[in-house]
Structure 1
Amino acid sequence: MTTAEPGSPAGEFDLGALLAERGAERYELHTRHLNHQLPRMLHTIGFDKVYERAEGAYFWDTDGNDYLDMLAGFGVMGLGRHHPVVRRALHDVLDAQLADLTRFDCPPLPGLLAERLLTHSPHLDRVFFANSGTEAVETALKFARYATGKPRVLYCAHAFHGLTTGSLSVNGEDGFRDGFAPLLPDTAVPLGDLDALARELKKGDVAALIVEPIQGKGVHATPPGYLRAAQELLRRHKALLIADEVQTGLGRTGDFYAYQHEDGVEPDLVCVAKALSGGYVPVGATIGKEWIFKKVYSSIDRVLVHSASFGGNAQAMAAGLAVLSVMENEQIVANARATGDQLRSRLAALVDKYELLADVRGRGLMIGIEFGKPKSLKLRSRWTMLQAARKGLFAQMVVVPLLQRHRILTQVSGDHLEVIKLIPPLVVGESEVDRFMDAFTAVMDDAHSGSGLMWDFGKTLVKQAVANR
């Protein structure tokens, strides 16, 4: 039973007291009431930490140790945690006691945020606000199919666009799709393969191609010229280009949108979410051309044909406006470009030094570090052992000591991938680059020594992988 703060009415909800009393039960609560495999997984790899607070690009545990965040909540925390401008905007909008979500008025905040978003994609005209990236994708799929009158949506192999039924239909990873069929009519084409795209378009039933300018799974960018050539093919066949910028948008790659790295690319629909609210409030947006929106909302009778109960809510809109203001005033996009170039070039310089390091790629502060089969016999035998148990274990072996020994949070970039993805908050700078480089070099040195705690942990992962087969 929680108690109220001194001087507060008896029985009043007290969040601080509740967390003080029950916060230590966090892992037990998840085991009993939520996804029970999550705490099990975190315990297995030693990620079952207790973080007490966070600010900017750092967490702190109960002992006061700081942890560098190179994950940004899967890209949600573009400005880091608890940016003061975004916090103030949320306090202000709550204090304003606005008549929010009446559903039968036109509040100013959604219109103002739409106006600001559209300045970054001047070839587009209108915005639909939802609550997440997957909802933004669902909107784009529905709009594309309705506007073109065609049923089929193309996507690229290994793509990730969300996990609801529609977005799952354009998800290129079988592990997410297994057991959830039947899905929407869809077809995967290899990333960058224009001939495969042309063959599918000739069938005449394709509504759109949805594509991540840089795929989150494995951090693979579309080849130079691909987006523009694909756009021309799609237009020829009266199909649409949908750019999924949920992770790559809002400055992540060193331009406001990743498709803007290629001249002449003007998607018909663009999906954004994640960093748009600074990580505070769920939000998503589908930005599109005038004719598409006017076809979907073609009459007064169709005014609510596609809507979202919480879409455009005042808290999300205020946060979004604050985020865009910060991005402009603090030159966030320029920092992502400069810091990302610095980090990527320093990592790329290590490829010739470490035989287990195969490639470094990406744009801005979206960087993939890929590991590969070594040449030396001693390391090759260990690598082969890991691969036989489960592909992706070596990358996990790197991620774990980065956290446990160097207090840096990273992630493996996808199931069965030997790739680490770095997507830190866009506010990181030279000191964070130095800290990561020192830690990563130390982990690589340990891995190439052929002994030590890292390979001992590898044996633990092998046993776990075999047990889960």
Structure 2
Amino acid sequence: MMKTLGSPLAKLVRGEGARVQDDEGTWYLDFLAGIAVNSLGHAHPVFVDAVTRQASRLAHVSNYFATDPALALADRLARISGAGEAGRVWFGNSGAEANEAAFKLARLNNSGGARTRVLALVDAFHGRTMGSLALTGKPAMRDAFEPLPGGVTHIPSTIEALEAELDESVAALILEPIKGEAGVLELPEGYLRAARDLTRRHGALLIVDEVQTGAGRTGEWFAFQHAGIVPDAITVAKGMGGGIPIGGLVTFGHASDLYSRGQHGSTYGGNPLSTAVADAVLAEIERAGLVENAARRGAELRERVLGLGSPLVAGMRGRGLLAGVALTEPVASELSAAAMQAGLIVNAANDSTIRLAPPLIIGDAELDEFTDRFGRALDAVAATR
């Protein structure tokens, strides 16, 4: 394997529900879900059936042809996002590709030739391709690959900074409603509403990166819906596919008219296998009330963590089942390792934050098990301080 990742935490061989097993037979409670991907957990019957049925029928045809699964998924995304009949959907294979499509959409919002700038936020993460990396406000990820595509200005996540930078030279503002890779950081109260008002006033697009926050994870289908706004575009991936690679761009209103034939594409994007599975995953999330479950279980998860009374826990951030445990000391990696020893998979998003993103299917049994195992991990690390 290429030296782009650290040493693997374990070699996993199978999964069932919210649990995975390694090659030595040890089972772990999975509260990372493939980094907010496995919405239905592992080996869910709906997921398995969708893969099996579509793979035995038609897996790939290229984008020269339409297929029922792609059309059905596009319709569903337009409905649950609120884009409606004026919405359009483009399919790719990942969140990074979705954000590349969004970057190019921003460049197309320049009919007069004066809109040469795109605004993005400091500490935001939008992917590792050259275009999505240009949008990413993390110098440690960017520096080795400079020069990146230009025209991107990274600004602090404050309404004051937004007011100062937004003018008629800006083609778009792209943002994460919750910065997952930065430690599950929420935007300030009222930020999305202010961003919508300011971008509309200056003719810029508001593009919301819902790659990690979409598909019901925060207790709404998409995190922007908590603010009651309508963006110009959103990017989606991760939890939408439930484990199969897929990404997409959904446009609203006039933004749906910016792309024209031949300006973007993907050989694999929108293939019938990935779209059939994603449509089945979203249908099951809707049928089983898992958006509501994410809201309810997310609140319970916060109560459980804070109720442990650990001196290492400073507080909780995030919404629904995308949660960040803020730590009083920079021991996140140590705590993540202790959790693995206790049979629990969590993620050290940074030195002082543990990220929790369990499958949307979790219930009382999984929360009880999590509380016990995370409590043991906290105690083990606290005992070394």
TM-score (norm 2): 0.93
**Structure 1 residues 102, 62: CA separation in 2 closer, same or farther (over 3 Å shift)?**
closer
Seq. identity, %: 39
Partner of 2:57 in structure 1?
96
2:324 to 359, 368, 387: 368
Counterpart check, 1:254 vs 2:219: yes
Tell me which residue corresponds to 2:72. Answer: 112
Point out the more displaced range, 88-97 or 170-179.
88-97
Instruction: Give how far 1:145 is off.
Output: 1.6
* Alpha-carbon distance, 1:107 to partner: 2.4
Matches within 5 A, 1:104-253: 104-123=64-83, 125-149=87-111, 150-183=115-148, 184-191=150-157, 193-202=158-167, 204-216=168-180, 217-253=182-218
Are 2:63 and 2:269, in contact at CA under 8 Å, matched by a contact in 1?
no
The alpha-carbon deviation at position 36 of structure 1 amounts to: 6.8
CA distance in 1, matches of 2:162, 2:52: 48
Residue of structure 2 in register with 1:467 after alignment: none
Closer, same or farther: CA 97–250 of 1 in aligned 2, 3 Å: closer
Residue of structure 2 equivalent to 1:306: 264
Contact 1:57 1:428 in 2 (8 A): yes
Shift of 1:421: 0.3
Question: Cα 1:64–1:189, aligned 2, differ >3 Å: closer, same or farther?
Answer: same
Letter in 1 for 2:256: F
- Cα contact 1:130–1:310 (8 A) shared by 2: yes
Q: Is the Cα contact below 8 Å between 1:344 and 1:360 reproduced in 2?
A: yes
* Alignment of structure 1 residues 339-378 onto 2, 5 Å: 339-350=297-308, 353-373=309-329
Q: Which runs of 5+ in 1 are unaligned?
A: 1-29, 298-302, 374-391, 456-469
Indicate the SS of the match to 2:21. strand
Distance 1:36 1:171 in 2: 18
The answer (yes or no) to whether the contact 2:120–2:135 under 8 Å persists in 1 is yes
1:155–1:172 contact (8 Å) kept in structure 2: yes
1:427 is aligned to 361
The 5 A counterparts of 1:9-28 are none
Bigger relative contact order, structure 1 or 2 (CA pairs below 8 A, ≥6 apart): 2
Matching residue of 1:327: 285
Residue 268 of structure 1 deviates from its aligned partner by: 0.3
Match of residue 50 from structure 1: 11
Find 2:334's aligned residue among 387, 393, 397: 397
Call closer, same or farther: CA 1:37–1:337 in 2, change over 3 Å.
closer
Change (3 A) 1:233 1:103: closer
1:270 paired residue number: 234
Distance (Å, rounded) in 2 between the aligned partners of 1:441 and 1:102:
49
2:100 aligned partner, one-letter code:
E
Residue 199 and residue 346 in structure 1: after superposition, are their counterparts in 2 closer, same or farther (change >3 A)?
Answer: same
- In structure 2, how many angstroms separate the alpha carbons of the residues matched to 1:436 and 1:113? 34
Correspondence 1:408-423 to 2 at 5 A: 408-414=344-350, 417-423=351-357
The answer on whether the counterparts of 2:344 and 2:374 sit within 8 Å (CA) in structure 1 is no
User: CA contact under 8 A between 1:147 and 1:296: conserved in structure 2?
Assistant: no
Equivalent residue number for residue 379 of structure 1? none
How far does the alpha carbon of each residue in 1:77-98 deviate from its partner, in whole angstroms, 9 at most, with x for none? 1111121112111211122247
Task: Tell me the SS of whatever aligns to 1:153.
Answer: strand
Is the contact between residue 63 and residue 266 of structure 2 (CA under 8 Å) also seen in structure 1?
no
Aligned to 2:257: 294
Residue 277 of structure 1 and its aligned partner are, at CA, apart by 1.6
Structure 2 regions of 5+ residues with no counterpart?
none
What is the CA–CA distance in structure 2 between the aligned matches of 1:295 and 1:257, rounded to whole Å? 23
Looking at CA atoms only, which structure, 1 or 2, has the larger radius of gyration? 1
Secondary structure of 2:125's partner? Answer: coil
Deviations 1:296-337 (A, max 9, x none): 21xxxxx12111111110101110111111111111111111
